[in-house]
Chain A
Amino acid sequence: MTHRPTPKVPESWEWFGLAFLLLFMACVPALFGGRYVPTVFTSILLFFILGALFDFMLGYLNIVNFGIAGFLCAGAYASALASKFWGVSPWTGLAIGGLASLLVGLFTGLLTLRLRGIYVGLTSLFVMETLRFGISNARDITRGVSGLTVGIFPPITGISFSRSNPLAYYYLLLILVVIAYATLEVVVRSKIGLVFRAIRDDDIGVSVLGLDVVRYKLLNFGIASFFVGVFGAFYGNYLGILVPTPQEFGIERTVEILTIAYVGGRGTLWGSLLGAIALIGISEVLRDINQWRLVIYGCFLIFVILAFPGGLAGAVRHVALKFHLWLGAGRYEIAGAKETTIRSKGGPMP
């Protein structure tokens, strides 16, 4: 029997799904209003994009950035301190946060990305913890564990960003998320993204072709670090107070992000949105038994890795594929041997 390419869901379906999710995320908080729903949706969006950025490194280059919360921390503190000492506007602070995190990222990346396997994960863990201890110790500048208060975004085009107006923050975040996500998708679908996946599957093979593997890894790491820093800066302004605890900027935050990326489905980017909705939804429902939250995260993570490697995105794709084949079943049966045409042109990411 000849080799049959795996059938795939048409790309247009994926775009349709993405547009639907975007519409959903854009409308629901405004429809409900109040404080609660926009706050929950802000967490969902924030964790979605952090998960997607994590996945950008993990799913496309097999880089486990175990210190992603440290990059978030770098962005948040850089922006807050710049605003405190030099009076930089929080709007510029978004870029400053991104650049600070990019610097940390390039430093970590230059040290470790030429090594294979697990070194990036271990080193970024150290970078994160060192940063966090440093911030806790430098009380004169960062106020350490007593917490650094962060101002609000100044009004722009008449929209007030007071903290009693969660919707303004939500839509600001939505715009930032769309920009970041679009950038990631463009990179992933470009030739560069192709090289990323080639390196993931066979780095020696790619280097034999004359491509600089380390440079591509550094590019990937740099892009992700920059955006994580931008969202760190946003997060600081959104929260209003920064405290260098493990829950905020340490191992626990990293685990949350990592779980969302894994549960959502690796190598899809958009899967993290499903992951964020599922996990944050569950923890909102189970708010009364808060202590079980991380147990559930951990069990979810173990279950997904062991039994369900495609994550939620994989499940959705599977259902969509079944539906697609069912729709086209008659046609392809008539076409008989031409069933290979099921394969879409170009096709989404594997």
Chain B
Amino acid sequence: MLTIPVLLQLTVDGITRGAMYGLMATGLAFIFGVLRIINMAHGELFMLGAYVMYFVTVGVGLPVAAGMIIAAASLFLVGVALERSLISPLRTRLGDNWLIDGYVLTIGVMVVLQNIALIAFGAREYGVAGFWPGRQEIGGLVIANERLLILAEAAVSFAILGLFLSKTDLGRAIRATADNTDAARVLGIDARSIYTITFGIGAALAGLVGAILLSTYPAYPTVGGDILLKAFVVVIVGGLGSIWGAMLTGPLLGVIEAFSTAFASGGWQNTVISALVLSVLVLRPQGLFGRQVTRP
């Protein structure tokens, strides 16, 4: 069983799956790095993205790329609205002591979004079979086209995000705010807008992942819970608030998961992952790529 093609196949499978965990976790790490809250509603933003994708591509019949752009854009707006209406007032009132309350606030958002989706769409699963059926064979390596698509989309998203953060003024301002909010304010950065935009981008990433993964995870109200746990694993292992950490840990986690699914009987991969999280918390609580600030 341990032949080179099998190992390669598992690695490729793992990286594809993990790239999505990484993208999902990047949004989480991004929001944590700048706003200092864990967004418990992140899984629900993923869910909303999946619904938007379904209704745009299957319902209206627009092409896949349009679906992804619309999903990301509408989730950006949702994120901005959430930040402005709920999170920003709380931050204004509580200042620095707001960490725990912000966390619980997003739990409230999670519950409301999840159950409103349940009422609006029912427990039915809205899914698609695949956007690009078929598969490619490259030197004995078989990859489903859907996987290639996901991989390409992950690479493009990471590249755009990386360029945005390192090359544009807004990206630099976001990083400055994450590093030191007070210093950023002194330099004339409007921290409040940065918070809103950051939350919007984080939400857009979650929506984008929800849209891309529609063929794997159909849209239903509690779909976000599972993927949120995966994103948490990535964020803890990679280091809270570290964007590069999340990007690198995602594929790593995917590979570990693929191997443990292949070599251990069902259900064990959860134990392996939990053991990984716990050992990171004991041995290196700041995460494998740990710094406590966002610095791509």
Measured CB to CB, the residues of A under 8 A from B are 58, 62, 64, 111-112, 115, 117-119, 121-123, 125-126, 129-130, 133-134, 137, 246, 251, 255, 258-259, 262, 291-292, 294-295, 297-299, 301-302, 305-306, 309
Contacts and interface: CB of A to CB of B under 8 A. Distances in A.
A294 B222 CA distance: 13
B115 A292 contact: yes
A305 B99 contact: no
Contacts of A295: 111-112, 115-116, 119
B103 A118 contact: yes
26 contacts: A64-B104, A111-B281, A111-B282, A119-B236, A123-B281, A133-B267, A251-B225, A255-B107, A255-B111, A258-B104, A259-B108, A291-B119, A294-B111, A294-B114, A294-B115, A295-B115, A298-B111, A298-B112, A301-B104, A301-B105, A301-B107, A301-B111, A302-B108, A305-B90, A305-B101, A305-B105
Contacts of A123: 277-278, 281
B25 interface: no
Nearest to A121: B103
B150 interface: no
Interface in B79-110: 86, 89-90, 99-101, 103-105, 107-110
Given A291-B118, A294-B115, A306-B89, A119 B285 contact: yes
Contact of A112 (B104, B109, B270, B281): B281
B156 to A, nearest CB: 30
Point out which of A111, A117, A126 has the most chain B C-beta atoms below 10 A from its C-beta.
Answer: A126
Nearest to A293: B115
A262 B104 CA distance: 9
Chain A contact surface mostly: helix
B136 interface: no
Nearest to B222: A246
Contacts of A121: 38, 103
Given A133-B270, A246-B225, A301-B111, 7 more contacts: A126-B232, A126-B278, A258-B107, A298-B109, A298-B110, A301-B104, A306-B89
A-B residue pairs, 6 tightest by C-beta: A298-B111, A298-B112, A301-B108, A302-B108, A137-B267, A294-B115
B231 to A, nearest CB: 11
A313 B262 CA distance: 53
Contacts of B115: 291-292, 294-295, 298
B38 A126 contact: no
A259 B107 CA distance: 10
A133 B225 CA distance: 14
A122 B110 CA distance: 16
Given A122-B236, A291-B119, A302 B86 contact: yes
Nearest to B235: A122
B271 interface: yes
Nearest to B225: A251
B193 interface: no
A118 B240 contact: yes
Contacts of A291: 115, 118-119
Nearest to B32: A118
A126 B111 contact: no
B285 A115 contact: yes
B274 interface: yes
A140 B49 CA distance: 39
B104 A299 contact: no
A117 B99 contact: yes
Contacts of B278: 111, 123, 126
Given A255-B111, A302-B86, A306-B90, A126 B277 contact: yes
A255 B112 CA distance: 11
A120 B21 CA distance: 22
Interface string B262-273: 000001001100
Contacts of A309: 101
A275 B270 CA distance: 35
A112 B277 CA distance: 12
B197 to A, nearest CB: 22
Nearest to B87: A306
Contacts of A258: 104, 107
B62 interface: no
Given A115-B285, A126-B274, A137-B267, A64 B111 contact: no
Contacts of A262: 104
